[in-house]
């Protein structure tokens, strides 16, 4: 079932109605509920883990047999294979003829991103919009695909939750103490909802409820929705179930009840990957069946199979795609200048080059996770014992530098999320430094290989990182220097403590594990936090520099290629240039909007950065970006920043790009500008006629 909201046509003018206070409160309730769940999960995890040691967790991980690991890999593959039919059914429903490989790729990428980031309705929808837009699906069709996939998940969830409530009500975390009759009535209600959906699909193809029009799929598609979603959730639960040790006296139906309840709690919390919430619920529910170390081993392995490895695979696909495109371009250049100029890139069978912003999200998550794992590895895994004092000293130094590198990588990930060029360089540098440190520490060969894989996921996408870092673009300020200074002081204090207490060659490990250094452990934790804050502050995107619109700026703009002859009745508020000044776009400030006039003028390869800079300026000033008089060449870039494209206002050429919710307000502003232009032209015409009459008289 897909939803279409009845809205005012885009050409009508008027202001959008502001949301009521109750509606604003309702919009914030999910975030409040997520925060409550996260706090409760942190309490549960702290309570369960306070008596655990890292050695117990390592032992539980090593105790998982190889056969169980292979079964988990197989279940993961089957789970993602079944997941691919979400989009396949959606495209069949809306009549879009897409190949199975395309729909499978779209489903894989969107769900990998939503699984790891949380907010699946936003992150997964953004990926689908970008991919299907490139494959010729209209915005309305993409919205139907997104709604169809959400409905499919809900149908499967209700089918399984109904079964769990009816047949396994005693195994559901947090609500198992309720009377079983109450839970069974809830399960019956869920099944009735599914049956009602199937019944509606037999009789209707479209329904109108209030201001929404619901497109109902056929009966066979509706049945397939229920089967696919239920099978997907059951297979995902099977990944964790096959990892349980044989002594766990729990059947699959009971485990499925626990998994669905835990997964739903993580989904409601909207934290990345349900981190903390899912784990806390699983610890709480599986406590009667298994010791805590074994539960943690199962959860960590499940996250590796279902979250981390697919994230690497999705990022690798985009990296290979980028290298594939660059290989085409390089091959064309080798064939000769003229041929290279006329060479048309091979059309991508998966994604286009402008979709690389997905790789930014992948890089952010992977780099942050790598930093955390490096810190964990340096602290939790003991270094090998070698003979000479010098060797001991080098190993301890490698541990310390590895931990420092991990902390800095977590901070650098924030810079990657903001598309800062220096963060891209810093990430590659730190990963390159970590590789010899791990080798020096005599770590497993798999760790340097994984670090190289992370570098491979980041390196091809230099063009995605176009912003200057605050450290290099702005004067030093107290907000920048304070965390850096405090970080250096905290590191110096810890080192002074180590020297004063003569902790010897193993000073680093002694600071962490010795009982008499508990205060210093706090100092180390605060130092790590200050380090993350310092790196984030240094690698934040810089403020956008704006040139005032004067004679010099106008001359500079007119000298760029493709500059507009007529900018409109109003004098532009300023000019935004890219880093090297080879592309620029004039803009207007009006009310809540910053309006870019036309496509950026200048070299085509430099224009994208100018568009993103205008968007950044709007975000800095708390306004919304709008682009008018735009052509067809860069529409994909406007789509990438979330713009909706529709015809321009009256009397204007080109297209209008703005956020969907701003459309009516933008139309009103442009209508006012058009009336102003007509008055100005009328005045000029009148003055011209009067001047001619005066000369004739």
List, for residues 582-619, the tens digit of each pLDDT value. Answer: 889 999 988 889 999 888 998 877 788 888 888 888 88
Residue where one domain finishes, among candidates 494, 514, 538:
538
Average pLDDT, the chain: 77
Instruction: Spell out, as residue ranges, where the chain has pLDDT lower than 50.
Output: 3-19, 121-122, 338-355, 502-507, 515-517
Tokens standing for 366?
């992977």
Q: Are residues 484 and 628 in the same domain?
A: no
Query: Given this model, what pLDDT does residue 651 score?
Result: 54
Spatial contact of 392 and 513, defined as CB atoms under 8 Å apart: no
Q: Does some domain include residue 327?
A: no
Residue 81 covered by a domain = yes
Q: How many alpha carbons lie under 13 Å from residue 449 in its C-beta half-sphere?
A: 3
Same structural domain for residues 532 and 672?
no
Decide if 455 is inside a domain. Answer: yes
Which residues, 6+ apart, have CB-to-CB distance to 386 below 8 Å?
392, 395
Q: In terms of domains, do 533 and 593 share one?
A: no
Beta-carbon contacts of residue 581 (< 8 Å; ≥ 6 apart): 556
Count of all residues that appear for the chain in the document:
697
SS (H, E, C) 155-217: HHHHHHHHHHHHHCHHHCCCCCCCCHHHHHHHHHHHHHHHHHHHHHHHHCCEEEECCEEEECC
Question: In terms of Cα–Cα distance, which of 101, 140, 104 is closest to 5?
Answer: 140
My answer on whether 408 and 508 are in the same domain is: yes
Specify the pLDDT at position 344. Answer: 42
Would residue 20 count as lying in a domain?
no
**Domain extent at residue 153:** 2-9+32-317
Same domain membership, residue 384 and residue 292: no
Q: Is residue 696 part of a domain?
A: no
Residue 237 included in any domain = yes
pTM of the model: 0.65
- Choosing from 516, 538, 560, the residue where a domain stops is 538
The answer on 556 and 467 residing in a single domain is no
Q: Residues 6 or more apart from 472 whose CB is under 8 A from it?
A: 422, 542
Whether the Cβ atoms of residue 472 and residue 423 lie closer than 8 Å to each other: no
In angstroms, the CA 682 to CA 690 distance is 12
Neighbours of 491 (CB within 10 A): 18
- Contact between 568 and 680 under an 8 Å Cβ cutoff? The reply is no
Short-list 158, 359, 170, 152, CA closest to 254: 170
DSSP line for 291-352 = -HHHHHHHHHHHHIIIIIHHHHHHHHHHHHHHHHHHHHHHHHHHT-HHHHHHPPPPPPSS--
Specify whether 562 is located in the same domain as 588: yes
The pair of three-digit structure tokens given for residue 560, joined into one six-digit string: 């760029």
Task: Report the chain's C-alpha Rg in angstroms.
Answer: 29
Instruction: Name beta bridge partners: 656.
Output: 646
Residue 67: how many CB atoms within 10 A of its CB?
Answer: 9
Structural domain ending residue among the three candidates 298, 317, 336 = 317
For position 601, which CATH number holds? 3.40.630
CB 312 within 8 A of CB 455: no
Any bridge partners for residue 588, and if so which?
A: 595
Query: Rounded to an integer, what distance in angstroms lies between the CA atom of residue 600 and that of residue 336?
Result: 30
Alpha carbon distance 467, 420 (integer Å): 5
Closest C-alpha among 115, 108, 112 to residue 273: 115
Q: Establish how many alpha carbons lie within 13 A of residue 181's alpha carbon, considering only the half-sphere containing its beta carbon.
A: 0
Write out the two tokens for 291: 């010791």
DSSP structure class, residue 118: S
- With respect to residue 692, please indicate whether it lies within any of the assigned structural domains: no
Provide the pLDDT for residue 429.
94
Do residues 38 and 89 share a domain?
yes
Phi, psi of 97 (to 5 degrees): -85, 90
Please indicate, yes or no, whether residues 392 and 529 belong to a single structural domain of this protein.
yes
* Tens-place pLDDT, residues 201-258: 888 877 776 655 667 888 999 999 999 999 999 999 999 999 998 888 888 888 888 8
Number of domains composing the chain: 3
Using DSSP, state whether 580 is helix, strand or coil. coil
The H-assigned helical ranges of 63-119 are 66-94, 100-117
**480 and 558, same domain (yes or no):** no
Question: CA separation (Å) from 210 to 147, 214, 313, 623?
Answer: 18, 10, 43, 33
Paired with 602 in beta bridges are 583
Q: Are residues 193 and 244 in the same domain?
A: yes
**Residue-level pLDDT at 176:** 60
Say if 277 falls within a structural domain.
Answer: yes
> Is residue 608 within 8 Å of residue 637, measured between CB atoms?
yes
How many CA atoms, within 13 angstroms, populate the side-chain half-sphere of residue 484?
Answer: 12
If you search the block for the tokens 């201001």, which residue do you land on?
211
Burial 285-314 (b: 16+ CB within 10 A, else e): bbeebbebbbbbbbbbbbbebbbbebbbeb
Residues 6 or more apart from 532 whose CB is under 8 A from it? 407, 410, 411
Q: Are residues 528 and 583 in the same domain?
A: no
Beta bridge partners of 584: 577, 601
């Amino acid at each position: 079932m897909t939803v279409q909201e009845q809205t005012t046509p885009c050409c009508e003018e008027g202001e959008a109605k502001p949301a009521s206070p109750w509606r604003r409160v309702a919009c914030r309730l999910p975030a409040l509920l997520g925060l409550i769940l996260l706090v409760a999960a942190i309490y549960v995890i702290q309570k369960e883990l306070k008596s655990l040691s890292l050695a117990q967790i390592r032992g539980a991980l090593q105790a998982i047999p190889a056969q169980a690991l292979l079964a988990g890999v197989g279940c993961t593959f089957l789970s993602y294979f079944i997941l691919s039919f979400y989009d396949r059914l959606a495209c069949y429903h809306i009549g879009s003829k897409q190949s199975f490989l395309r729909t499978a790729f779209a489903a894989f990428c969107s769900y990998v991103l939503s699984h790891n980031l949380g907010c699946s309705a936003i992150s997964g929808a953004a990926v689908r919009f970008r991919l299907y837009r490139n494959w010729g699906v209209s915005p309305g069709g993409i919205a139907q695909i997104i709604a169809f996939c959400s409905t499919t998940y809900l149908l499967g969830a209700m089918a399984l939750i109904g079964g769990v409530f009816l047949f396994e009500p005693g195994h559901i975390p947090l609500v198992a103490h309720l009377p079983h009759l109450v839970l069974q009535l809830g399960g019956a209600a869920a099944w009735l909802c599914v049956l009602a959906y199937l019944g509606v699909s037999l009789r209707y193809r479209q329904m109108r409820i209030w201001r929404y029009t619901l497109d109902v799929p056929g009966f066979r598609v509706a049945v397939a929705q229920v089967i696919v979603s239920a099978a997907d959730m059951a297979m995902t639960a099977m990944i964790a179930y096959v990892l349980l040790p044989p002594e766990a006296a729990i059947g699959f139906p009971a485990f499925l009840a626990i998994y669905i309840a835990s997964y739903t709690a993580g989904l409601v919390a909207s934290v990345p990957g349900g981190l903390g919430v899912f784990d806390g619920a699983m610890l709480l529910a599986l406590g009667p069946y298994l010791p805590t170390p074994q539960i943690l081993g199962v959860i960590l392995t499940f996250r590796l199979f279902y979250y981390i490895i697919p994230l690497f695979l999705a990022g690798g696909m985009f990296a290979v795609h980028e290298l594939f495109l660059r290989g085409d371009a390089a091959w064309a250049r080798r064939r000769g200048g003229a041929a290279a100029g006329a060479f048309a890139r091979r059309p991508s069978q998966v994604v286009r080059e402008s979709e690389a912003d997905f790789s930014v999200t992948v890089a952010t998550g992977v780099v942050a996770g790598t930093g955390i794992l490096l810190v964990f590895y340096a602290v939790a895994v003991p270094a090998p014992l070698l003979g000479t004092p010098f060797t001991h000293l080098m190993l301890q130094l490698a541990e310390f530098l590895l931990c420092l590198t991990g902390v800095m990588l977590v901070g650098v990930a924030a810079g990657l999320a903001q598309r800062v060029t220096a963060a891209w360089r810093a990430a590659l540098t730190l990963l390159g430094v970590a590789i010899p440190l791990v080798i020096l520490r005599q770590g497993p060969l798999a760790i340097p290989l994984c670090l190289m894989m992370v570098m491979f996921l980041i390196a091809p996408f230099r063009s995605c990182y176009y912003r200057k870092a605050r450290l290099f673009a702005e004067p030093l300020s107290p907000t920048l220097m304070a965390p850096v200074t405090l970080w250096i002081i905290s590191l110096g204090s810890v080192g002074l403590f180590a020297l004063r207490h003569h902790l010897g060659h193993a000073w680093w490990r002694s600071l962490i594990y010795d009982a008499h250094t508990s205060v210093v452990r706090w100092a180390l934790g605060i130092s790590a936090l200050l380090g993350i804050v310092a790196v984030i502050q240094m690698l934040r995107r810089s403020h956008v520099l704006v040139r005032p619109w004067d004679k010099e700026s106008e001359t500079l703009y007119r000298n760029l290629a493709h500059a507009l002859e007529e900018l409109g009745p109003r004098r532009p508020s300023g000019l935004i240039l890219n880093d090297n000044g080879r592309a620029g776009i004039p803009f207007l400030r009006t009310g809540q909007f910053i309006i870019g006039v036309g496509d950026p003028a200048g070299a085509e390869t430099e224009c994208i950065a100018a568009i993103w800079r205008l968007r950044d300026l709007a975000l800095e000033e708390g306004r919304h970006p709008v682009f008018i008089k735009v052509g067809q060449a860069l529409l994909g870039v406007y789509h990438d920043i979330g713009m909706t494209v529709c015809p321009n206002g009256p009397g204007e050429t080109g297209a209008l790009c703005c956020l969907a919710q701003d459309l009516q307000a933008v139309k009103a502003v442009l209508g006012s500008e058009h009336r102003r232009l007509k008055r100005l032209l009328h005045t000029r015409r009148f003055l011209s006629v009067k001047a001619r009459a005066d000369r004739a008289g």
